[in-house]
Amino acid sequence: MIKNYKLLLYLSLIFFSSCSSVYMPNVPNTPMLSQKGEFSGGGHISFRGNASLNGAYAVSDHFGVLFSGAYMNSEKHSKDFKHKLVEVGGGYFNTFGPENNRILEIYAGYGGGKTNRAFRTFDDNDILTNTDLEEITYNKTFIQVNYSSKKSNNLRLFGTDFPINYGTALRISSVQMKTFMRNSIGQVREGNTFLEPIFFTRMRLSDAVQLQYTSSGNFGLNSRKFMSAGNSIFTIGAVINVGGKKSKE
């Protein structure tokens, strides 16, 4: 019981951690490609409104290409946060195991993004006294390793069995500022390397469509004031896979 409380506390600290970072990670592309001609696409939304869109296509039996994008526009009384991110990549995938239902994927890619933040200060009468505006553009390179399985366990809901399968990934992202303006004045640019372990669960609704829950951590290898590890991933979404090998029950 104590261990469970510690786990809940740890997850809560991650979820409610300060959004001090200008880098907002997107949901990693985990397409689970299995053969030539397969297409995977997915859309995900976090509890804070960060939307991610992923796509992948297997151009051969072992090589796939990726596309990902993310967008968020949060406007609050004292803080605004807006970001855009686009990335492309490619790499190797292979199936293995007794029924070829386990999948290993290794991808690398490149992208770019933009973050705008506004911080507002008010006095005791709720009158605006100061506004701090930040505008950042950055480049991103990444490499990630995905491991997943199409072997399913059944979850019974409302008298119906829904197959459940799981996967994990480790993404290493290097994010480097191109420009950093604060109240229209140039600032010292920052960069960081992030370790992002990802865990996802999929519930199959049909041969092509699955619901997905994704969670992750975000750890920066360097101490930075702005390009820090202040954001993690907790999303729900849907994924489609067409043209792949059939799942084994």
pTM for the full predicted model:
0.85
Closest CA to 90 of 150, 169, 25, 33: 33
Cα dihedral 241/24/218/184 (nearest 10): 160
Residue 248: pLDDT above 60?
Answer: no
pLDDT at 98: 80
Residue indicated by tokens 């406007």: 75
Residue 246: pLDDT above 90?
Answer: no
- pLDDT one-digit tens code per residue, 180-214: 999 999 999 999 999 999 999 999 998 899 999 99
Whether residue 163 contacts residue 203, with contact meaning beta carbons closer than 8 Å, is answered with yes
**22/82 Cα distance (integer angstroms):** 10
Tokens of 175: 């994010």
Structure-model confidence comparison of residues 13 and 72, the more confident one: 72
- The dihedral through the CA atoms of 223, 73, 196, 170 has a sign that is negative
- pLDDT one-digit tens code per residue, 130-178: 999 999 999 999 999 999 988 777 777 776 778 898 999 999 999 999 9
- pLDDT one-digit tens code per residue, 73-117: 999 999 999 999 999 999 999 999 888 889 999 999 999 999 999
**35/30 Cα distance (integer angstroms):** 15
The whole-chain average pLDDT of the chain stands at 88
Whether residue 230 contacts residue 19, with contact meaning beta carbons closer than 8 Å, is answered with yes
* CA triple 96-160-240, angle to 5 deg: 45
- pLDDT one-digit tens code per residue, 20-71: 799 999 999 999 999 999 999 999 999 889 999 999 999 999 999 999 999 9
Bridge partners (DSSP) listed for residue 139: 112, 176
pLDDT at 19: 47
**147/152 Cα distance (integer angstroms):** 15
Contacts of 230 (CB under 8 A, 6+ apart): 17, 18, 19, 20, 21, 218
Count Cβ atoms within 10 A of the Cβ of residue 128 and give its class: 0-12 exposed, 13-18 middle, 19 or more buried. exposed
Structure-model confidence comparison of residues 19 and 92, the more confident one: 92
pLDDT at 157: 73
**48/235 Cα distance (integer angstroms):** 9
pLDDT at 43: 97
Residue 18: pLDDT above 70?
Answer: no
Cα dihedral 158/161/162/168 (nearest 10): 120
**24/1 Cα distance (integer angstroms):** 33
pLDDT at 7: 41
